A = this chain, B = another copy of it.
Amino acid sequence: MTKQERAARTREALIRSAAREFDEHGYALATLSAISTGAGVSPGALHFHFENKPAVAAAVEQEASTALRRAARLAHRQGANALQNLADTTHALARLLREDIVVRAGYRLSCSRVRRTDLNLRQEWQSCVQQRIAEAADEGLLATGHGGQPDLVRTVVAATVGLEALCRDTREWLAPDTVTGLWRTLLPVLAAPGTLAGLEPAGSASVPAARAPVG
């Protein structure tokens, strides 16, 4: 293993250990010494990579952001219609948040009121929902008769953010069955009757694993 490879592995171990520490104790109570111990490296090795706690947190957020954006992009590329895309994207992001401690901790850091940075992943998610529902309207997929697009956007945003918030206590809230149940309930409100039959609340079979390497 080259020196660069070793450095990259140490950095990755530190980010993972920091994510565990932030997830368990919250940002305010997480300590650099617990992070370096958790990664099995010396405090000096930590300081070689990161100047201080905000720098470690920023790296965790950055990793989360990259993974979430890539998963959203992959789901979007599948070519399904906008409503199916929206459901597929929630499944992909739920899987990442459920299975990947770095994504989970990074997302939460970026939602924290106490520690506010430029990166706001929850805001990005809201924009994504808004865009997909606007596309669905353009494609003529939306049902009529509800209160209008803003109501639909807010309901989908609230329900999905709620799943993430609830998942902090009980992992099952982001399980595939729960996300599918949410779409089984919401798709009939969103989709025009002719569109509904073609939509799969459990997600398109073609959606690849969220962290699969991109060619």
How far in angstroms is the closest Cβ of chain B from A100?
A: 18
Collect the chain B residues with CB atoms within 8 Å of residue A162's CB.
157-163, 165
Contact between B29 and A168 (Cβ–Cβ < 8 Å)?
A: no
Collect the chain B residues with CB atoms within 8 Å of residue A173's CB.
154, 158
How many interface residues does A have (CB within 8 Å)?
Answer: 37
A139-172 contacts to B (CB < 8 Å): 145-147, 150-152, 154-155, 157-166, 168-169
CA distance A65 to B43 in the complex (A): 44
Collect the chain B residues with CB atoms within 8 Å of residue A178's CB.
154
Contact between B25 and A114 (Cβ–Cβ < 8 Å)?
A: yes
**Chain A binding surface, main DSSP class:** helix
How far in angstroms is the closest Cβ of chain B from A94?
A: 11
Determine whether A26 belongs to the interface, using a CB cutoff of 8 Å to chain B: yes
The chain B residue sitting closest to A112, CB to CB, is: B26
For the complex with contacts A160-B162, A185-B189, 10 further pairs of A-B residues with Cβ separation under 8 Å are A25-B114, A29-B114, A113-B168, A147-B184, A151-B182, A151-B184, A157-B162, A158-B159, A158-B182, A159-B162
Residues of chain A having any CB pair with chain B under 8 Å: 25-26, 28-29, 111, 113-114, 122, 145-147, 150-152, 154-155, 157-166, 168-169, 173, 178, 181-182, 184-186, 188-189
Task: Please give me the 5 A-B residue pairs with the lowest Cβ-Cβ distance, nearest first.
Answer: A162-B162, A158-B162, A151-B181, A147-B184, A28-B28
Interface pairs (7), CB distance under 8 Å? A147-B181, A150-B181, A151-B181, A151-B185, A152-B185, A155-B159, A158-B182
